Structure 1
């Protein structure tokens, strides 16, 4: 198995560029519109996404809006999973039509929720294994800094799990399996030989995304605040975050397809076409 960061990036940009018009339509429907709808249906949504917000205010708001948040969140996730699946299918080796890509995206939504459940279970178990011993040692030794160290270790574990499971959705879509356990196992096998390089790759991209997201949120949050009218402000914030989600979604889908192509090698169909 081969993994070349530069080639993955170049191939992803090429895939996105070649399919840009269709990707914009899919990302607009499945990523932009749900984000915009969430901001309009829950006017206080920006409070939950503000890292500088008062935790007590967030807790109070969360209790009041837990039901709507869960409902809208689940619907938004269904749209997002379907959109990511469709974009991966569209850029895959089989070159499907838009209709076929959309069917592939919708087909893998339940399996994607299964992959998410596996990730959450692994995260909870890892957090317990890391946090409990560190918490005991910190309480006995009086070293509060150990708690901060535990947070960093858990964050590193999250990035590690995301890197190792990053091929799960391409496996579901491109290798046409609907079993989430098989998809996760296959992802671990594909990423295993180059796990540290892949972890670094996704970690750097995640860091760059966070910087861009914070900058855009700060700039357009100020513009939204100056707008005065709450509906206009929510439209500005929803549209900004939706456009950011579209761009990230198209890029991540392209990267997933390019990385899967490197790690899994050429498909049977590609090998046949080579010799025809």
Structure 2
């Protein structure tokens, strides 16, 4: 089945509208509030390094993650549960908020396992060739192989972009089977998906830049006090929450379109 980007976007917005109250609750709990808390307890973790050592930028990043890594990890886990719960809201069984969160928690470990498998495979299949090219042919060969590896990485990420909906909406909790399901679902649509994601990314970046410019000026007027920190965190949390909801809805609609209606949906149709 060929992806219809217009229909996918229309279905995504329709799903958000139909579940807006439940979506707002989960996005608020797992994305909006954690962003505010992070801005208050670890401001540098929320904004990134404030000063970069131009002579040794790697040392700056190492110090940053040594100091803030635990907070970033905790927030990433909370965000992951929230995203998986949002996917559950867009499933056919119409769960409650509690059911969706429970599904997100149950799916977290299989989802992380699939991500780890993917990272390990990419490190071996793409990282090793780049390293060998640098060792054998110098930096020029490394750059050339690196470009090829980057193109391959983009392709692979597109192929596995439907991993989460395959696990939640498709009900495939086995990490290997879920990865295979995402690969099969995207078959014949890789370029369409690349264009779809690219256009969506541009739209989000433009809106975020305009929103950030307007709100940034307002926050700057408040100085660097606690109120400014909390307001800045709230605004960042709002953008992050909206972005998370849109991404989940788009991926859910895309998965539904490429895989067809679920068995449960078909059964309900003829009941």
What TM-score do the two structures reach when normalised by structure 1? 0.84
CA positional deviation for 1:124? 3.0
Q: How far apart, CA to CA, are the structure 1 residues paired with 2:253 and 2:116?
A: 25
The residue that corresponds to 1:260 in the other structure is 255
Correspondence for 2:176? 181
> Which deviations, in whole Å up to 9, do the C-alpha atoms of 1:141-173 show, x marking residues without a partner?
9xxxx94x7666555444323221111111111
Checking the alignment, whether the CA contact within 8 Å between 2:49 and 2:60 is kept in structure 1 is: no
**How has the CA–CA distance of structure 1 residues 230 and 180 changed in structure 2, closer, same or farther, with 3 Å as cutoff?**
farther
- Deviations along 1:112-148, one digit per CA (max 9) or x if unpaired, are 212322332344342443575378657469xxxx94x
How many matched pairs? 269
| 8 Å Cα contact 1:48-1:58 kept in structure 2 | no
Q: Which residue of 2 aligns with 1:73?
A: 72
Alignment check: 8 A CA contact 2:35 2:46 kept: no
1:39 & 1:152 partners in 2: Cα distance?
Answer: 36
Q: 1:164, 1:264 → 2: CA distance? A: 14
Residue 17 (structure 2) pairs with residue 9 (structure 1):
no
Partner of 1:29: 29
Quick check: 2:158–2:193 contact (8 Å CA) kept in 1? yes
Aligned to 1:244: 239
- Structure 2 Cα separation of the partners of residues 84 and 209 of structure 1: 18
Where do residues 12-91 of structure 1 align in structure 2 (5 Å cutoff)?
12-45=12-45, 47-48=47-48, 54=52, 56=54, 59=58, 61-91=60-90
Q: Which shows bigger deviation, 31-40 or 41-50?
A: 41-50
TM-score scaled by structure 2?
Answer: 0.85
How far has the Cα of 1:80 moved from its partner? Answer: 1.1
Asked if the contact 2:129–2:145 (Cα under 8 Å) also holds between the matched residues in 1, the reply is: no
- Of 211-220 and 128-137, deviating more is 128-137
Question: What is the rounded CA distance, in whole Å, between the counterparts of 1:55 and 1:153 in structure 2?
Answer: 31
Assess if the C-alpha contact under 8 Å between 2:81 and 2:104 holds in 1: yes
Q: Secondary structure at the match of 1:250?
A: helix
Indicate how the Cα distance of structure 1 residues 191 and 131 shifts in structure 2: closer, same or farther if over 3 A, else same.
farther
Instruction: Tell me whether 1:194 sits opposite 2:189 in the alignment.
Output: yes
Please state whether the residue corresponding to 1:129 is helix, strand or coil: helix
Q: Distance in 2 between matches of 1:18 and 1:230?
A: 39
CA contact (8 A) 1:47 1:58 kept: no
The question of whether the paired residues in 2 share the 8 Å contact of 1:82 and 1:102 is answered with yes
Q: Deviations over 1:192-221 (max 9, x none)?
A: 221221122112222333333344444444
Tell me the distance in 1 between the aligned counterparts of 2:217 and 2:35: 19
Aligned in 2, Cα 1:155/1:24: closer, same or farther, shift over 3 Å? farther
Pick closer, same or farther for the CA change 1:116–1:241 going to 2, 3 Å. Answer: farther
Q: Does 1:109 align with 2:112?
A: no
Range that drifts further, 197-206 or 13-22: 197-206
RMSD: 2.8
Q: Could you give the per-residue CA deviations for residues 45-96 of structure 1, whole angstroms, max 9, x where no partner exists?
A: 355278xx74548655544443442211221122111111111111111212
